[in-house]
C-alpha cells in the first residue's frame, strides 16, 4: 500500500466548519474516512513524541530563570511567523513543562504531554478523571498564544474558568502571554479586554452569548463588509465599537463530551421583553383545562419521544370546555397547541427532576450535571406552562432576537480540540458532527478500580432497601461512600432513608449546592457518606483521607443507570483515581424511569417472568427468607439496561443531526443574503 503523504493527512484532518452533514455516498465516504482515522496509531505516536520531550528536560532544567526567559523569545517568534517545525513544537512543550515545575510546582507527566500533542493535533483526548487535564491544556494553549491569534479554553462553569485562569496564569505570564477569564456579570469593557488576551478562559454559555451579541451589533452596522469599510474610511459607529470578541480562531474544550454532545442542541437565545397579557392568561387557563382531561381517553403520551398527543375525543372535549373563551382560544390549532403545552408540563415535567421552585420561580435543573440554571428558560411557551402548573406568577414570554445551538457555534471555530474523561462511546459522533478524532491517553498509574456487577431488582422499593443495606455494610468498614442519583427527588428520598437509619451523611444536589466545594473536598474522608446528583461528577476532585486507601478507597454506588454510558463512567471515575483503590457498582430496578422508557417491551417480558422465577427460587430454597430483597440480577436483566442505553444514544444522535440539518435548511430557504 502506497504511503499517504503527511500533508494529505493534515488536509483530511481539517474539520468541516459549519457545513451541512454529508448525505448519500458522501456520508458513506465520510464514515469510511472516520473509520480510517480511528485506525491511525495516534496514541503510540503521541507517546513517542512525549519521550522526545522528556529527553530535553535536562537542557531546560539546568537553565536559570533569566536563561529560560531568553529561550522563550526565539521560539515565540518562530510560532508567530508560522515557521515552526515538529522539533520546534517538541522544544516548546519541554520549555513549558519546565516553566510549570518552577511556577506551580507541577511537571507534566509523559501521558499529559501526549494529551497535549493530541490537543495540538485537533483531537479529543480522553484522559481519565484526575489525570491533570487542566495542566495538559497549558502546553497547546501557550503555543496558540505565541501564534498571536488567541485561544479560548472552554470550561463548564464560571468558578472553573476563574480558578484555572488564576492557577495556570503564572505559567502563561512567564511565557510572555496575557491570560484572562470571562464570567457572568462582567462589563463589556472587561469582556473586550479578556477576549483580547492571548488565552481566555470562559464557559460555553458566555462565549456563545457574546458571539450572538456581536452578531446583533454587526447587523446594526449593515453587516461585516459595511463595518470594515466604515473602519477603513475612519467612520466610527457605536455598534461597531460595542463588539467584544476578535474572532473564533482556536478553542480547547474541557469536558468536551458534555459541551459538544450532551448540551449540543441546547439553544442559547438572546431575547428581550415582549409582554402579552392575553397570552399569559391563556397559559393559566390551559393549566386549568389540562386538569380536567383524562389520560388515554382525551390524550396519550409517547414516553420514548416525550410527546403528548390529543385524541379526537380530546379535541372535541377541549372545544366544549373553552367554548366561552375568546381571543387565542377561538382558533382550533392554537388552542390545541396551548393545551398540549399544558399537558406536557403536567405529565412529563416533574418538580425536583427537571426543575425546582426556588424563590417563587421555576429554575431548570441540568439533567446531565444536576446543577441549577437560573438564567435559562424552556422555549415555545413550555416554561410558562410549567409556571402555570405550579400556580406561581407566569413570566411574560420573551421576544427572540438571536439564537444558536452550541453544536453549531463550536463548528464555527477555525481549530477545535477537546479533552474529557469519557469520549470513546461517542467516537463516531465526534467525527460525524465535528470531524474530531478521539485519542485515548493511558493513565499515569495503572487503574485498579474494581467494577462490581449490577444488582437488579424488580421494583424501586427493593432497590432502595438494598442500597441502604449496602451503605450500612460498607460504612461499617470505615470506607467513604458516594451515591449518585439522577434527580433531586431521588437524592432527597435516599437522604430520608439514611436519616431513619441514623446514618450521618451529606447531600449535594441542585437544592443543596452552595456548599458543594466543602462537601466534595470531604467526600473521601473516613466514614463519610455523600449523596449527590450528577453534579458531583465533573470539575471536582475527591481526595482520599489518611488511611482510606488501605481500607479499599472510595466506594461509588449508582442508584440508577443514565441514558448515556458516559455519564455512568464519569460517576464511577470519582473513585480509584491516580492509582488509588476504589470500587463501583450500580443498583437498579425494572421500575427505573430510564429503562422503562427505552426498553419497555423487554422490561415487561422480564416482569412477566418474575413470579415464575421467584417461585422456583422459593422451592429450591425450601421456604428460606428471600435474600437480597428479591434480587433478580442475571445476564438477561443486565442486558435490558445496556439495550436501553444503546437506544437512548441512537435517538439522541438522531436528534442532534436533525438540529444541524434544520439549521442549514433555514439558511438555504429563508436567507436573503449570503453568509459573511
Of 139-153, 389-403, 553-567, give the lowest mean pLDDT range: 389-403
**Angle, helix 158-174 to helix 65-80, in steps of 10 degrees:** 110
Indicate whether 97 belongs to any domain: yes
In angstroms, the CA 65 to CA 60 distance is 10
Identify the band that residue 374 occupies on the pLDDT scale cut at 50, 70 and 90: confident
Residue 145 has pLDDT above 90, yes or no: yes
Residue 192: give the domain boundaries.
Answer: 40-268+407-440
**Angle, helix 635-670 to helix 600-621, in steps of 10 degrees:** 170
Indicate whether 9 belongs to any domain: no
Q: Provide the CATH number for the domain around residue 202.
A: 3.40.50.300
Residue 456: predicted pLDDT? 95
Residue 404: predicted pLDDT? 86
Residue 657: predicted pLDDT? 83
Residue 534 has pLDDT above 80, yes or no: no
The whole-angstrom distance between residue 260's C-alpha and the CA centroid of its chain comes to 7
Set of cell numbers at residue 659: 438540529
Residue 40: predicted pLDDT? 83
Could you tell me if 313 and 366 lie in one domain? yes
Could you tell me if 485 and 378 lie in one domain? no
| CB-based contact 202:154 (threshold 8 Å) | yes
Residue 612: predicted pLDDT? 45
Indicate whether 94 belongs to any domain: yes
Identify the band that residue 10 occupies on the pLDDT scale cut at 50, 70 and 90: very low
Percentage of residues in the chain having pLDDT higher than 70: 86
Could you tell me if 121 and 162 lie in one domain? yes
Could you tell me if 523 and 587 lie in one domain? yes
Could you tell me if 523 and 647 lie in one domain? yes
Distances in Å between the alpha carbon of 26 and those of 17, 22, 429, 522, 616? 16, 5, 16, 52, 55
User: For residues 289 and 268, which has the higher predicted lDDT (pLDDT)?
Assistant: 289
Q: What is the mean pLDDT of residues 386-399?
A: 88
SS3 call for 199: strand
Residue 48 has pLDDT above 90, yes or no: yes
Residue 57 has pLDDT above 50, yes or no: yes
Indicate whether 350 belongs to any domain: yes
Residue 231 has pLDDT above 70, yes or no: no
Identify the band that residue 12 occupies on the pLDDT scale cut at 50, 70 and 90: very low
Q: Provide the CATH number for the domain around residue 288.
A: 3.90.1440.10
Indicate whether 509 belongs to any domain: yes
Residue 377 has pLDDT above 90, yes or no: no
Indicate whether 34 belongs to any domain: no
| CB-based contact 410:253 (threshold 8 Å) | yes
Could you tell me if 353 and 421 lie in one domain? no
User: For residues 176 and 654, which has the higher predicted lDDT (pLDDT)?
Assistant: 176
Residue 218 has pLDDT above 70, yes or no: yes
Q: What is the pLDDT of residues 535-570, one digit of tens each?
A: 654 555 688 999 999 999 999 999 999 888 888 998
Percentage of residues in the chain having pLDDT higher than 90: 57
Q: What is the pLDDT of residues 70-88, one digit of tens each?
A: 999 999 999 999 999 999 9
Beta strands 199-203; 151-155: pairing state: parallel
Identify the band that residue 2 occupies on the pLDDT scale cut at 50, 70 and 90: very low
Residue 620 has pLDDT above 90, yes or no: no
Contacts (Cβ under 8 Å, ≥6 apart) of 98: 57, 60, 61, 63, 68, 107
Residue 621 has pLDDT above 60, yes or no: no
Count: domains in the chain: 3
440 forms bridges with which residues in the sheet?
A: 126
Residue 9: predicted pLDDT? 33
Residue 608: predicted pLDDT? 83
Could you tell me if 226 and 317 lie in one domain? no
Identify the band that residue 313 occupies on the pLDDT scale cut at 50, 70 and 90: very high
In angstroms, the CA 163 to CA 168 distance is 8
Which of 415, 440, 465 corresponds to the end of one domain? 440
Of 248-262, 308-322, 394-408, 584-598, give the lowest mean pLDDT range: 394-408
SS3 call for 324: coil
Task: Please provide the DSSP assignment of 602-650 as one string.
Answer: HHHHHHHHHHHHHHHHHHHHTTPPPGGGT----HHHHHHHHHHHHHHHH
Identify the band that residue 100 occupies on the pLDDT scale cut at 50, 70 and 90: very high
Contacts (Cβ under 8 Å, ≥6 apart) of 552: 477, 479, 581, 582, 583
In angstroms, the CA 121 to CA 140 distance is 9
Distances in Å between the alpha carbon of 60 and those of 71, 135, 144, 503? 9, 19, 21, 54
Of 129-138, 403-412, 506-515, give the lowest mean pLDDT range: 506-515
Could you tell me if 109 and 215 lie in one domain? yes
Could you tell me if 385 and 528 lie in one domain? no
Indicate whether 17 belongs to any domain: no
Residue 153: predicted pLDDT? 98
Could you tell me if 496 and 644 lie in one domain? yes
SS3 call for 546: coil
Could you tell me if 243 and 291 lie in one domain? no
Contacts (Cβ under 8 Å, ≥6 apart) of 36: none
User: For residues 539 and 271, which has the higher predicted lDDT (pLDDT)?
Assistant: 271
Set of cell numbers at residue 10: 493534515
Q: What is the mean pLDDT of residues 503-508?
A: 92
Residue 187: predicted pLDDT? 93
Considering just the CA atoms, what is the radius of gyration of the chain in Å? Answer: 27
Dihedral of CA 366/372/375/379: which sign? positive
SS3 call for 250: strand
User: For residues 671 and 331, which has the higher predicted lDDT (pLDDT)?
Assistant: 331
SS3 call for 185: coil
Indicate whether 558 belongs to any domain: yes
Q: What is the mean pLDDT of residues 38-65?
A: 93
Identify the band that residue 623 occupies on the pLDDT scale cut at 50, 70 and 90: very low
Residue 101: predicted pLDDT? 97
Identify the band that residue 613 occupies on the pLDDT scale cut at 50, 70 and 90: very low
Residue 323 has pLDDT above 90, yes or no: no
Residue 234: predicted pLDDT? 64
Could you tell me if 239 and 306 lie in one domain? no
- In the block, cell 444536576 appears at 370
Q: What is the mean pLDDT of residues 424-447?
A: 92
Amino acid at each position: 500500500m502506497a504511503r499517504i503523504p503527511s500533508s494529505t493527512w493534515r488536509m483530511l484532518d481539517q474539520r468541516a466548519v459549519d457545513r451541512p452533514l454529508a448525505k448519500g455516498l458522501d456520508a458513506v465516504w465520510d464514515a469510511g474516512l472516520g473509520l480510517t482515522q480511528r485506525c491511525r496509531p495516534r496514541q503510540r505516536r503521541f507517546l513517542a513524541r512525549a519521550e522526545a520531550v522528556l529527553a530535553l528536560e535536562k537542557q531546560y532544567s539546568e537553565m536559570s530563570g533569566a536563561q529560560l526567559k531568553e529561550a522563550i523569545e526565539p521560539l515565540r517568534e518562530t510560532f508567530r511567523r508560522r515557521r515552526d517545525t515538529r522539533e520546534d513544537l517538541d522544544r516548546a512543550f519541554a520549555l513549558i513543562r519546565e516553566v510549570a515545575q518552577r511556577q506551580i510546582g507541577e511537571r507534566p507527566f509523559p501521558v499529559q504531554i501526549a494529551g497535549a500533542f493530541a490537543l495540538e493535533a485537533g483531537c479529543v483526548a480522553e484522559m481519565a478523571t484526575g489525570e491533570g487535564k487542566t495542566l495538559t491544556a497549558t502546553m497547546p494553549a501557550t503555543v496558540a498564544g505565541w501564534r498571536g491569534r488567541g485561544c479560548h479554553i472552554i470550561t463548564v462553569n464560571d468558578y472553573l474558568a476563574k480558578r484555572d485562569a488564576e492557577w495556570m496564569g503564572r505559567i502563561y505570564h512567564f511565557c510572555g502571554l496575557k491570560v484572562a477569564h470571562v464570567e457572568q456579570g462582567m462589563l463589556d469593557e472587561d469582556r473586550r479586554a479578556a477576549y483580547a488576551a492571548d488565552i481566555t478562559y470562559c464557559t460555553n454559555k458566555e462565549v456563545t452569548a457574546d458571539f450572538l451579541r456581536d452578531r446583533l451589533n454587526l447587523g446594526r452596522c449593515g453587516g461585516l463588509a459595511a463595518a470594515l469599510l466604515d473602519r477603513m474610511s475612519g467612520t466610527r459607529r457605536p455598534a461597531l465599537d460595542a463588539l467584544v470578541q476578535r474572532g473564533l480562531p482556536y478553542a480547547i474544550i474541557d469536558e468536551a463530551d458534555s459541551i459538544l454532545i450532551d448540551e449540543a442542541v441546547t439553544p442559547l437565545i438572546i431575547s428581550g421583553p415582549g409582554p402579552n397579557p392575553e397570552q399569559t392568561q391563556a397559559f393559566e387557563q390551559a393549566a386549568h383545562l389540562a386538569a380536567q382531561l383524562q389520560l388515554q381517553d382525551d390524550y396519550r403520551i409517547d414516553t420514548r419521544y416525550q410527546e403528548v398527543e390529543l385524541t379526537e375525543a380530546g379535541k372535541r372535549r377541549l372545544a366544549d370546555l373553552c367554548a366561552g373563551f375568546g381571543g387565542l382560544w377561538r382558533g382550533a390549532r392554537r388552542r390545541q397547541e396551548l393545551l398540549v403545552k399544558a399537558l406536557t408540563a403536567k405529565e412529563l415535567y416533574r418538580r425536583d427532576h427537571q426543575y425546582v421552585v426556588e424563590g417563587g420561580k421555576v429554575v431548570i435543573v441540568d439533567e446531565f450535571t444536576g446543577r441549577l440554571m437560573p438564567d435559562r428558560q424552556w422555549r415555545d411557551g413550555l416554561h410558562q406552562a410549567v409556571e402555570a402548573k405550579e400556580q406561581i406568577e407566569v413570566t411574560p414570554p420573551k421576544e427572540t432576537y438571536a439564537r444558536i445551538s452550541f453544536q453549531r457555534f463550536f463548528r464555527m471555530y477555525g481549530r477545535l480540540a477537546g479533552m474529557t474523561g469519557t469520549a470513546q462511546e461517542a467516537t463516531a459522533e465526534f467525527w460525524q458532527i465535528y470531524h474530531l478524532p478521539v485519542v485515548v491517553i493511558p493513565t499515569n498509574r495503572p487503574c485498579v478500580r474494581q467494577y462490581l456487577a449490577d444488582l437488579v431488582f424488580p421494583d424501586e422499593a427493593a432497590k432502595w432497601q438494598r442500597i441502604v443495606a449496602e451503605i450500612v455494610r460498607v460504612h461499617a468498614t470505615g470506607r467513604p461512600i458516594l451515591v449518585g442519583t439522577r434527580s433531586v427527588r431521588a437524592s432527597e428520598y435516599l437522604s430520608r432513608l439514611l436519616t431513619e437509619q441514623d446514618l450521618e451523611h451529606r447531600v449535594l444536589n441542585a437544592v443543596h449546592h452552595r456548599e458543594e466545594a466543602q462537601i466534595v473536598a470531604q467526600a473521601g474522608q473516613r466514614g463519610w457518606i455523600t449523596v449527590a446528583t450528577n453534579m458531583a461528577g465533573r470539575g471536582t476532585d475527591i481526595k482520599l483521607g489518611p488511611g482510606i486507601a488501605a481500607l479499599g478507597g472510595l466506594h461509588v454506588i449508582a442508584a440508577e443507570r443514565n441514558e448515556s454510558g458516559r455519564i455512568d463512567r464519569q460517576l464511577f471515575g470519582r473513585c480509584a483515581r491516580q492509582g488509588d483503590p476504589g470500587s463501583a457498582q450500580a443498583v437498579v430496578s425494572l421500575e427505573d424511569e430510564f429503562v422503562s422508557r427505552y426498553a419497555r417491551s423487554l422490561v415487561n417480558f422480564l416482569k412477566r417472568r418474575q413470579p415464575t422465577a421467584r417461585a422456583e427460587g422459593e422451592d429450591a430454597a425450601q421456604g428460606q427468607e428471600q435474600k437480597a430483597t428479591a434480587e433478580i440480577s442475571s445476564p438477561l436483566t443486565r442486558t435490558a439496561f445496556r439495550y436501553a442505553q444503546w437506544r437512548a444514544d441512537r435517538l439522541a444522535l438522531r436528534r442532534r443531526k436533525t438540529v444541524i440539518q434544520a439549521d442549514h435548511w433555514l439558511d438555504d430557504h429563508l436567507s436573503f443574503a449570503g453568509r459573511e
